[in-house]
Structure 1
Amino acid sequence: MKTLLSIAGMTLLFAACKSKTASYTVQSRTLNEAVYASGEIMPEAYYFLKANSADLLLKVMVKEGDTVHQNEVLAVLGTPGQLEQVDILQRQVALAGSNAQEQSAALTELRSRIALAKTKQEQDALNADRYTELARSKAVSEKDAEQARVQAATSATEYKTLQDQYQTLQSDLSGKLLQARQQLTATTQSREGKVLKSPVNGRVYKVYLKTGELAQLNAPIVMVGLPGQFKLELLVDERDISKIRTGQKVYFETDVYKGKQFEATVNKIIPLLQKESRSFQVEAAVQDTALFYPQSSVEANILIRERINALVIPSDYLMKGDSVYLQQGKELHKTAIVTGIRNGDWVEVKSGLKAGDVIATKEGK
């Protein structure tokens, strides 16, 4: 179990007190037990916008550090011809929709012809009835009456034909609108993943490619996340994961602020072993409001127990195999010990030594 550097402000937490002498008198100290973890710092919520197929990066609309809004287009994949095709189909849908409206020029003109044909059909029908009555009284010839009836029938046929034409034209225009919409939908679906939009109101943290470069399948193009809120993504050895609980304090360092320590709190334990590293991922909410940089590496200690009174020795005196040189008079005897907590420069001794024993380095002979 590894541990981090000292944490200032806590009683002997991670105390760094290397012995400057050749010997050390074993004694008890107050320690804190912690589990070492390493990982990186990330925005509390972040997203990698990726390509759904290998394609050229046509446009990048943002740069790193930009503030963006939800659904704002950040990058476009594909070729100019593909974008033009979408524009053409959108115009075709708009035109087809306009033509299919009741107020369109074609339907309006045909309705006018139908109105005229209806008026003529009604007039010819009345005229045919009148001529038929006049023929009965011998006021006009039967031939004239027959001609009037033929004209009425012709007008009725023309009126019905125009009505049928109107229905046919309406159906044809509606069909063209539906077809245009289907083509646009199919083309738009094929371009899903090629127009990359921000899923949140946030900040652009990284742009991985430049305009004109080839984006590989599932390769990140833009990273966007929530600004001002960060979390740690840590890896904990499988031998230590059983000690981790949500709510535990985490003290961490990052090279960006070398020598400065920050605090976080464990809020998520992902119970899935990562076989490659034989470790588990643990997330911790960062309490500090410093300007952190995503994907910066961190080293951390997750505090397990506080203020443990333990028999300890400086880690410099511990040799491989957990043994020390015990000073007895002028002689040094190699003695095996059982260790416990290893906290900074201190190692807990569970057995093998007692308070008051004097240990020495080999150089102290």
Structure 2
Amino acid sequence: MKLYPFFFLVLYILFSCESKQDKTLPVKRELVESVYSSITIQPDNVYKVHSIVSGIIDKVLVKEGSQVARNQDIIQIINNTPKLNLKNSELSLQLAQENYYGKATILKTIKDEIASAYLNYKNDSINFFRQKNLWQQKIGSNAEYDTRKLKYELSKNNLYLLKNKYNQTENQLKTTLKQAENSYRVSQINTKDFTVKSKITGKVYAIYKEPGELISIQEPLALIGSSNRFLIEMLVDEVDIIRITENMDVIIKLDAYKEQTFNAKVSKIYPQKDERNQTFKVEATFINTPQVLYAGLSGEANIILKKKENVLTIPKSYLTQGNQVLTKNGVVTLKLGLENIEFIEVLSGIDENTYIYKE
């Protein structure tokens, strides 16, 4: 029985399988380890405009895209309530001033009562001590002595109470006057705030309200930010945030500039995690800024953690068990180093001439 054809068939199948199996050689290259992040472009110093009074919008004095100067009028608001409050505050202030400084004040009335009480006290005091001297000489009756003494003590106590009443009333009227003055000043300020102004020199990126709409102090009216300075907002996973520090290099790719990359540096790391998406916000500033930028442009970023030249690398897809590769001589355990999404550095275990295979 001849087995030669069968033997050659097995060899052919094995050889064919090996030739079709994916294999590659390690390659020396520059290797960059980075953290990936999606990005959004936002103007610097951007803020939402609010009014400190409620009311109805009368006029919107700017348009979206307009350049504005610091303290420039943006929105006019109609509101009669502050004017009424100012009038009421003015009346309250006048009443408080009249009560404290006026001729027919409460304090003057109490002063007159004190003067009258003092005269009674002085008269009762003279009568009491005269009666006391007579009684010591056994002149007069005990009942008359007790009557003079009681009247003297009542006069003395009444004078003491009136003086306390005067001091308390004076403090109360003084406090009421100060409160009325403060309330009047606040009302004056509110009546001046019918026109909302820009806090910075920049650009109007959004107008949220139209003329005729009723607004409250909680509602934003517009969005204003820098017209020529932009920030790169990145959302970084909590696993990677501890590896990032300020001034790290960042490579930016914007969807609007498909064929270009831009350089930036990390400028700020926010310490509070966003519980909604479990990420930390990181800001970066452009080194070479694109010619045209708009708020809300999106793209992707790679924050550079480490960079090495001329290192031996293999594709990460060839790794098995985390740090092993399949070679012609079997499974080899590697010592690994720097890595990125696609490649990983090989420190020892194989060299440039060692083919590795995919399982």
Establish whether TM, by shorter chain, passes 0.5.
Answer: yes
Which amino acid is the alignment partner of residue 293 of structure 1?
Y
- Asked if the contact 1:37–1:235 (Cα under 8 Å) also holds between the matched residues in 2, the reply is yes
1:300 aligns to 2:297 (yes or no): no
Q: Give the corresponding residue for 1:247.
A: 247
Which amino acid is the alignment partner of residue 357 of structure 1?
T
Matches within 5 A, 1:1-365: 22-50=22-50, 57-77=57-77, 79=78, 81=80, 85=83, 185-186=186-187, 188-189=189-190, 195-213=195-213, 218-289=218-289, 290-315=291-316, 317-318=317-318, 322=322, 326-328=326-328, 341-343=338-340, 345-349=342-346, 354-361=351-358
Consecutive unaligned residues of structure 1, counting only runs of 5 or more, are 1-20, 93-178
Secondary structure of the 2:253 match is: strand
- Asked if the contact 1:33–1:308 (Cα under 8 Å) also holds between the matched residues in 2, the reply is no
- Give me the whole-angstrom Cα distance separating, in 1, the residues matched to 2:269 and 2:190: 37
**CA-CA distance at 1:82 after TM superposition:** 5.4
Between the aligned residues of both structures, percent identity stands at 28
Instruction: Mark the CA change 1:64 to 1:28 in structure 2 (over 3 Å): closer, same or farther.
Output: same
- Give me the whole-angstrom Cα distance separating, in 1, the residues matched to 2:209 and 2:33: 44
TM score, norm. by length of structure 1: 0.54
- Give me the whole-angstrom Cα distance separating, in 2, the residues matched to 1:216 and 1:51: 8
Note the aligned Cα RMSD (angstroms).
4.3
TM score, norm. by length of structure 2: 0.55
- Asked if the contact 1:201–1:226 (Cα under 8 Å) also holds between the matched residues in 2, the reply is yes
Question: Deviations 1:257-313 (Å, cap 9, x if unpaired)?
Answer: 223211112222333333444433322221223221123223211222223443322
Which amino acid is the alignment partner of residue 249 of structure 1?
D
Question: Deviations 1:35-57 (Å, cap 9, x if unpaired)?
Answer: 22333222222211135688654
- Give me the whole-angstrom Cα distance separating, in 1, the residues matched to 2:336 and 2:192: 61
Which amino acid is the alignment partner of residue 186 of structure 1?
S
**CA-CA distance at 1:200 after TM superposition:** 0.8
- Give me the whole-angstrom Cα distance separating, in 2, the residues matched to 1:218 and 1:313: 57
Instruction: Mark the CA change 1:263 to 1:182 in structure 2 (over 3 Å): closer, same or farther.
Output: same
- Asked if the contact 2:323–2:336 (Cα under 8 Å) also holds between the matched residues in 1, the reply is no
- Give me the whole-angstrom Cα distance separating, in 1, the residues matched to 2:186 and 2:216: 25
**CA-CA distance at 1:68 after TM superposition:** 0.6
Secondary structure of the 1:210 match is: coil
Using the TM superposition, name which of 250-259 and 203-212 deviates more: 203-212
The total of aligned residue pairs comes to 250
Secondary structure of the 1:200 match is: coil
